[in-house]
Structure 1
């Protein structure tokens, strides 16, 4: 059992230790089996990295390293270092959201400080051979937080005003709202046009690839300096 790092530096040191390893090497170190593919094991890579770094939050609503104020995010990238998918941040509060503002929002809480772990994500690379990149410890700049706040407030206006069904993935410059659920039958409570309670799809806040690409490029990290 890997112990939880007690300081930011200890966490960074551990993340730097696994940089350069491929999934097979890290899984062997942790005595974990590797699935044949990720079709039925979508969360396996995240679980592998969480285990290696001693994260304890799991699927809880708190940060992965709440005692350090740090969230952990793996980010699959291509050979050019560009993210291959959007990054899930948190579920959107579709009901009981009176008085929720940016400063008290779950999105701001989750993005206060993030440890990004870039990973090779191209499908032609066998799962066990995909490598882990150098870690990036990131905090939003004032400009980035302003962008995030603007998108959050615009998207939350749709929710609060009962326009949840008008939300599309095109709204938001750096962050978007998309359905987040195992299937279209997983419904949750929301607010309708007349303020009535309705059943709707759970929605999640996701960071756009262009936004996370800027973070990676700013640090000039990824898989090139392993």
Structure 2
């Protein structure tokens, strides 16, 4: 039977809950919540994050908002190697590809999602079964002025290319800390985007991701 955890009443309570998970394996946490760990993450890539959401009382589900909207906190699990280095880029949110005239950085979903993030490192070594991967100490992070500047600069450059109908020419190399990549289960998934002549065309959905060099810097800030 699934255990329902109510949403935390404060950021302090959320942080206490996250700290209490440190040292547990995902299997132990799953058992305590009445869940079964998958054998691998090939088809369940998001399972560690969903399990942590459940354990901490996140209630946003798949809505385009912060996981703890009432606290202004986004939850991000981050797979790390044995040295505590991030193993992959971090998904932020879907990128808007139409109706973006006049959209400003401070109104964007990327901005809102990244104002305050609860990072939870999780062992990501693929030789470990998901149930055996251990949860690390959480970090409550707010971007400093320089990090904000870099995020805003990348977002504005990418959004300008999208508005000019150049979405197909944007690669993962664009952006210093933020990148745009296809975000879909397969290449047959299509959505509307702006074409070079200002009309609409079909393309794969895109998502914003934080580059690993940026998340490595965040982890190093706290763990040294």
Shorter-chain TM-score range: over 0.9
Identify the residue that residue 224 of structure 1 maps to in structure 2. none
Identify the residue that residue 115 of structure 1 maps to in structure 2. 118
- Cα distance in 2 between the residues matched to 1:118 and 1:65: 18
SS at match of 2:51: helix
Identify the residue that residue 195 of structure 1 maps to in structure 2. 198
The 8 Å contact of residues 39 and 129 in structure 2, kept in 1 or not, is answered as no
Unaligned runs of 5+ in 2: none
- Cα distance in 2 between the residues matched to 1:90 and 1:41: 18
Question: How many residues get paired?
Answer: 221
Which of 48, 53, 73 aligns to 1:50? It is 53
Deviates more, 1:18-27 or 1:68-77: 18-27
SS at match of 2:168: helix
SS at match of 1:190: strand
Which of 186, 201, 204 aligns to 2:207? It is 204
- Cα distance in 1 between the residues matched to 2:141 and 2:25: 23
**TM-score after normalising by structure 2:** 0.97
**TM-score after normalising by structure 1:** 0.96
1:21-42 Cα distance to aligned partner (Å, 9 max, x none):
0011111111111111111212
* 1:7-86 mapped onto 2 (5 Å cutoff): 7-86=10-89
- Cα distance in 2 between the residues matched to 1:216 and 1:24: 24
Deviation at 1:58, TM superposition (A): 1.1
Runs of 4+ in 1 over 2 A off after TM superposition: none
- Cα distance in 2 between the residues matched to 1:40 and 1:90: 20
Cα RMSD of the aligned pairs, angstroms, is: 0.8
Deviation at 1:126, TM superposition (A): 2.0
